[in-house]
Structure 1
């Protein structure tokens, strides 16, 4: 290598989910933690249980996909986790609480239906084999675990859909963040207790990590989610022709991010900007707020938006 010239270091690789391919036009990724559990199950000589769990997980996610398609939505990406998945849903109605709840509930409901069907067939003598009891246990565990009120689980998604309408995105995510961390700590404590009783329970530890990481990611992206909600609400107003209106009062020092996160998905908002003495300085609507975010950024204060508008 010539003197005075340095070979640049190769760019650092980003660690993240592994891209497996596409199914029905949906990009499928797998979380590294799921790969760790797969390797652990193989090392412990549990290939049958592993295949059974993956089959139950596949039917769970397929139910989400079918429900989203029936609701007129599009799934662009699925990231498989040890006990579920993070699904990137796109479409004009994805922010509607009822639609979000239906899509989220489809996975656990599918597992409960498979459980009930297998019990009925087994009692009728039409279903037998050593795999029946593990299949039933896996479906029951998948359904109950995903109904816990924590992100990124389905129970957390259902609760978040309705809390966002009544409290706004950030307060809703903050509440679910506290619930999620409580659940994660409880699962981690159960792992330690099981180890004390000489029972290995890596699945409980994996579940705790999944919830903790998923909660942190949801809190990190709440601002971006609010911005997406602002953008899609414009199209919803054009289609519906009418939306309820709410008025907010905000200090001129509040950031555009804070205002966007306080908006409710199902309503249109007017924002009254006041100074420290609560004297009105001007009024904004969601359209101006969105244009301000695009031109000034999420962290700009409201006073800058008023000056930019003038």
Structure 2
């Protein structure tokens, strides 16, 4: 597994060092490490492989590969593992503290960091775990691009609220760089997901034939598209949980022909993403 550190995390480390918050930062990084380890363990238990991991200030972006990685339930299990780990550590530390087996000045910050990590990552924004869970189910019902568009609006709203909270804290002479880092994490994660939505849709289309062979059946969905619609637009509108038939209409909404996902995939490989459906139909004749 290749591990990368995002510049935002390096900037947060430098800022915390300048402000004399290195101790709090080390504690936060330790909590973040257990959070990401829980994701990795859950992914492996689900039979998935983490090919690439990029560390952000309040989480990570992982390139997950393997059968079933786009199933909503599998994505939800892997995403929930991180916040659940933090809540379990919080509950365990409270129990040990009340039993008199845990004490020290680091206990309260450790508990606060785990609570903050769990609650923050459950926000419905990308690349956070709550956003991943919501994206998985929206992608199944709405398609990749509409799902990312919805979460993009939510994510930017959350980022602006956090940035505003940073300014309000500064007005009251309270330094809160973690809030600004959280806002930047959400903003960057949302932009990245919007940038890669097409690649994600094509990857799902490429692997769907394998899922069909393993499952033996998939529900069929019919969709209608105009002849000038690009192959990429059609691919991004497909739902991962079913097999699609595409009825192609001309500008007067008269039927020109019908395609399926196999034709679409072969057309993308031969003609490119920007080719219109009309050209693919003409090549088939």
Of residues 57, 72, 85 in structure 2, which corresponds to 1:110? Answer: 85
Find the counterpart in structure 2 of residue 73 from structure 1. Answer: 48
Unmatched 5+ residue regions in structure 2? none
Separation of aligned partners in 2, 1:112 and 1:157 = 18
Matched residue of 1:72: which SS? coil
1:302 lines up with 2:282 in the alignment: no
Find the counterpart in structure 1 of residue 94 from structure 2. Answer: 119
1:179 lines up with 2:154 in the alignment: yes
Deviation at 1:48, TM superposition (A): 1.9
Separation of aligned partners in 2, 1:192 and 1:297 = 46
Find the counterpart in structure 2 of residue 40 from structure 1. Answer: 15
1:54 lines up with 2:29 in the alignment: yes
Superposed, 1:133-282 pairs within 5 Å as 133-282=108-257
Larger Cα-atom Rg:
1
| Count of aligned residue pairs for this structure pair | 285
Q: TM-score, normalised by structure 2?
A: 0.99
Of residues 71, 90, 98 in structure 2, which corresponds to 1:96? Answer: 71
Of residues 38, 49, 52 in structure 2, which corresponds to 1:63? Answer: 38
Separation of aligned partners in 2, 1:243 and 1:269 = 10
Matched residue of 1:29: which SS? strand
Deviation at 1:308, TM superposition (A): 1.5
Q: TM-score, normalised by structure 1?
A: 0.91
Task: Name the Cα RMSD after superposition.
Answer: 0.7
Higher relative contact order (CA 8 A, sep 6+): 2
Superposed, 1:14-25 pairs within 5 Å as none
Separation of aligned partners in 1, 2:133 and 2:259 = 31
